[in-house]
Each structure stands twice: as structure tokens, then as C-alpha cells.
Amino acid sequence: MDFPFLLSTMKSLLAATPTTLGLFSLSIFFGGLLALLIVTMRVSNNIVARNFAKGYIFVFRGSPLLIQMFLVFYGLGQFGVIRHSIVWPALREPFVCAVLSLALCTGGYSAEIFRSGLRAVPPGEIEAARAAGMSGFLLLRRIIAPIAFRHALPAYSTEIVLMVKSTALASLVTVWEITGVAQRLISQTYRTMEVFMCAAALYLILNFLILQVLALIEHRLNRHNLRPAERKPSVMSAFFGARP
């Protein structure tokens, strides 16, 4: 085992980790906002909005993310309106293109996940809230969203982990994230196994940490399914203080 080589490889890959995390967190953030918009359209009474959302979800779930990314990266510049608009300097950046296509794609998946959460909200609990005088945003914020999010969280956790791995595709549009840097190292050293093993280990560590956080959130939100005796103070409450 060539430890000095592994160490220097790890060092280069670690230097690329902020880029991977940037791709991941920005696309989850914007994709999440987009998903809220799409799911709102998907469950609305407006037939145009509903069908647009259906079409959106179908397209972005039904086609390969890599092709979506290529279309965004190579395709947008074909349109004069885009090339001459003020957003063009940003859209020329590979990083921005990668975030855009990752967000567009996870927006479609997350919208469906959120919708399944909404469908799991018991109608009787919504009725009880209406009967108590809640409506509109108050009803959404206090009753519908918290129950829907609890139901959606396991599936959404899976989507988040998939997104960490999907950032690797950005290497193909010349973003120097972990996988891109790994490939560059391989082309310089021809030591495929060692480099890719290091990269895989790094992704595993990232996902392990992210899953830990998600599990804590899930545990905390699932307290209503635990018996009172099982509700021991969680790590989250150690961080943020116990709930009143």
C-alpha cells in the first residue's frame, strides 16, 4: 500500500469536497423551493397549473439526469434570448449549470414525495382544524405541513442521499468536484483503483454524516409514535435545548 500516494490523493479530493457540498446544498435548497411550487400547482384546482406540474414531473423523472445536464450546459447557449440576457454570464459557468439541472431534477422528484406526504394527512384532522376556525396559511403551517412532512421524510431522506451521489455527474460538464478531480488524478497517474477507492470512501463518509442528521430529525419528529417512556432526550435537544 502506497500510503503517501493515498494521503496526497485524499488531500486533493478533500480540496474538492467544498465544491461537491456546494452543488449538493444549493441544489437541495433551490430544488426544495421548486418542489413546493410544483406540488402546490399539482394539487391546485386550476387545471392548467395541475397539468403543467404533471408534465414537469413526468419529464424530469422520466429522462436521464445526465442528458438534462448536457441540455442545460450545451443547449441554453443556442438561444439568442438567453445568450443576450443578463443571466448569461452566470449560465456560462459550469457550476451554475450543474446546480440548475440538479435542482430542476430533484424539484420533480421532491414534488412527488411531498405530494404523497400531503395525501397521507388524515382528512378528519384537517376538518377538526377547520371546525376550530383555522384556514389558509395558518391551517397549512400548523396542521397540514407538519403532518405531511413527517410522512414524506423517509422518502425525502432517500432523495437527499441520491442527490449527494448525483453531484458526481457535474464532472462531465467540467465542474471540479470530487469525481472530476479523481478523474484528473487518474489521467495523470493511471492509478484507477486507488483513486476511485478514495473517492468512494469520501462519498460514503459524507452520506454517513448526512444520514445521521436525517435520522436525528426523523427520530425527533416521530416522537408521537413512541411511547412516553421511550422518548429519551435526543441529541438534538442536547444541542437546541429541550422543547417546552
Q: Which residues bind another protein (CB under 8 A)?
A: 122, 124-125, 127-136, 138, 142-143, 146-147, 150, 221, 223-225, 227-228
Least distance between another protein and beta carbon 223 (Å): 7
DSSP classification of residue 133: T
Cite the DSSP H helix spans in 120-177: 123-131, 136-139, 145-166
Q: Residue 23 to residues 77, 85, 225: CA-CA distances in angstroms?
A: 21, 24, 35
Residue closer to another protein, measured from CB, 80 or 133: 133
Least distance between another protein and beta carbon 149 (Å): 9
Residue closer to another protein, measured from CB, 80 or 228: 228
Least distance between another protein and beta carbon 126 (Å): 9
Residue closer to another protein, measured from CB, 62 or 228: 228
Least distance between another protein and beta carbon 121 (Å): 9
- For CA atoms 204, 206, 212, 214, the dihedral sign is negative
Residue closer to another protein, measured from CB, 136 or 233: 136
Least distance between another protein and beta carbon 11 (Å): 46
Lookup result for grid cell 395541475:
50
CA separation for the pair 4, 2 (Å, rounded): 6
Residue closer to another protein, measured from CB, 191 or 220: 220
Torsion of CA 23, 162, 56, 90, to 10 degrees: 10
CA separation for the pair 151, 55 (Å, rounded): 24
